[in-house]
Each structure stands twice: as structure tokens, then as C-alpha cells.
Amino acid sequence: MLDIIKKATIANTEEDTIRVGDQIRIPIEGFGTFTATAEEVTDSTILFIFDDIVEKRPMNETNTNTGGFKGSQLYKWLQEILLPAFPNYLRERISELTIPTVGQISGWSDAWDKEHFESDGDQQLQLMKDRKHRIASFEGDFAWYWLQNASKADWSSASFAGVGSHGNAGYRCASDSYGVRPAFLLVKEKSGGRVPHNSRVSYKRYYAHGRQDEISKESLMREINEKVNEIDILKQEIERLDKEHQYDEGASEIKALMDSFIRAGFAEGQAFHMVMNMLTTMLGGLR
């Protein structure tokens, strides 16, 4: 059951009672506990948007919006770092963890937005018509947060849309660090329960089991990008573990050296100073 907040009353209750405007409390391991508001409810799904910002991150390390939001490093971080931190009972029924669009937050009535941002086909959510719902905070202060929409290439290939601290749409360079306000579509249990995350086109499924999905160059390229991102993260983890291993080995060698001095009859303090002098001499020689 979801921890649902309804009219200031907290209760563990069924999903079928959720209405637009209700909130759920979500503990995110390593990040804290946040609330998310039901923005759109259908017979089979509920769209939730976090009320506040989880973390500040860049969309990409460099100022580029090539590949759009789905090809961004922020999207990779959402899928590979933030989503696994969700509780199991939610994670298994989230169809995709993402962030809101210009259409959902601001709508498309502004001519400047239409001219400068890639369209998303979404209409403004009912609650977002009230400015207070468009505003989000980070660590107690109102803050900018990202939206999915890249700026149009003929205007800028370096920017993405965002929402300012006053609830107005704007844009920022992709390498700038701004708020992540997650959004997700929750599949109701009665509609089928667990979300089949492996339902997307896959090289392994396609060649091992025959043509079960309509495959395309674009779908395969998306999967390649996903795998490349996974490999990058694994490489970083390997480097981190290698460094930790090196530190552990170094510490063991220093401890063994100190023990040898102590066994030779030196006091512990004397052994420590002798080892430190040796390390200082060795490191000085490496300069």
C-alpha cells in the first residue's frame, strides 16, 4: 500500500482512492523522504510529480542537447541511480522515471516557448495552472529545475528548458547544475501489477526468440546508448574499487613496517615517527 496524504490525514490506503491533488510519501534511500502529488489519474495509471527537488545536477557534462533528454546524462542518472533507490513496492510498478515537460508545467500558450523549445504534445496539468504548484524548493529555498524539452537546434544546441524560482518557464545551458524534480507514471495493481521493464526492443530478445517486436534503427541506437552509459558507470565503479584496493594494500604495508620496528625493540611512538619520516623522504623523492 502507498503512504497517502489526503486532506492533512495520513493513511495507508488503496490506490483506487487516490484523486488528483492527493500526495504520497516516498522514502528514497540515500536521498531522504519526499512527497509527490497525483497530477493525473486514469483507470490504469497515476501520474505523480515530486513536490520538491531531489538533487541538483547538470543535464549533460558539456553544453549540448544532442540526443534530447532521453540521450542525456541526467536521464541515465535517473534510471541507474535514483530509480534503484526507490522502495521495491513502487519501483516495480513505475513505467518510467522522468522529469516533467514544458507542456505539463507551463502549457504552450506562450509564443516564445513555442518558437524556442521542442514540442512535447502535452497539455498543462490542472494543478499546474496555479503558480504555487509550479514552484519547487531545494533544501528550503525556491530553486530552478529542469524540464525535458531541448531548445530548438536552429536557436541553440546547448540548452534545455527549465522552471525558475517564481514558476515561470525559461532555459539554461546543459552543463549548468539545476534541480531534478522527478515525475513517474505508476501502473495500478489491478491493471496488471508489475511493469514489464524488459518489454522494450532488445538485441538479445530479437535474435534469441525471433521477431517479437517491431525493430528499428532508432530503437537499437537507444539501446546501444543505454548500454554505453551502463559500461561508463561500471568503469567508474571499477576505478573506485581499484583505488580503494590500492589504499588498503598501502595501509597494510605501512602497518607491517611499523610492526617490524616494534618487534625490533622500538616504542610504538618511535616506530610511528620512523615510518612517517621514511614516507616523507619517499614522497619527496617522487616530486
Residue pLDDT, tens place only, 168-179: 999 999 999 999
Are residues 88 and 31 both part of a single domain?
Answer: yes
On whether residue 150 sits in a domain, the answer given is yes
The answer to whether position 189 is within a domain reads yes
Q: What value, to the nearest 5°, has the Cα angle with vertex 36 and ends 34 and 38?
A: 165
Residue where a domain terminates, one of 168, 199, 230? 199
Cβ(48)–Cβ(39) under 8 Å? yes
Whether 35 and 173 share a structural domain:
yes
146 and 267 fall within a common domain: no
248 and 190 share one domain: no
Instruction: Please check whether residues 255 and 149 belong to one and the same domain.
Output: no
Q: For residue 8, tell me if it sits in a domain.
A: yes
Residues 38 and 113 in one domain: yes
Q: What is the pTM of this model?
A: 0.66
Domain membership of residue 234 (yes or no) is: no
Residue 205 lies in a domain: no
Q: Looking at the structure, do residues 182 and 43 belong to the same domain, yes or no?
A: yes
Give strand ranges (E) for 81-216.
94-98, 137-138, 141-142, 145-150, 159-163, 169-173, 177-180, 183-187
Residue 145 CA to residue 59 CA, distance in Å, equals 10
Residue of 208 and 37 predicted with greater confidence: 37
Cβ atoms < 10 Å from Cβ of 109: 8
Share of the chain above pLDDT 70, in %: 78
Question: 135-149 pLDDT, tens per residue?
Answer: 999 999 999 999 999
55 and 152 fall within a common domain = yes
Q: What is the identity of the amino acid at 40? A: E
pLDDT tens figures, 195-246 = 544 434 334 333 333 334 445 666 676 667 666 766 766 777 687 777 767 7
Domain membership flag for residue 206: no
CB under 8 Å to 233, separation ≥6 — which residues?
Answer: 76, 80
- 213 vs 97, which has greater pLDDT? 97
Give a yes or no: residue 229 inside a domain. Answer: no
Q: Are residues 160 and 269 in the same domain?
A: no
Claim to verify: residue 266 and residue 163 sit in the same structural domain: no
Is residue 258 domain-shared with residue 162, that is, in the same domain?
Answer: no
142, 174, 199 - which closes a domain: 199
Number of domains within the chain? 2
Give ∠ CA 220-224-228 in degrees, rounded to 5.
Answer: 170
- Smallest CA-to-CA distance from 122 within 106, 136, 133 is with 106
Of 140, 165, 199, the one marking the end of a domain is 199
Do residues 182 and 262 both lie within one domain?
Answer: no
For 31, the grid coordinates are 536521498
Q: Is residue 156 part of a domain?
A: yes
For residues 46 and 38, the answer to whether their CB atoms sit within 8 Å is yes
pLDDT for 60 equals 97
Q: What does the pLDDT read at residue 212?
A: 43
- For residue 188, the enclosing domain spans 2-199
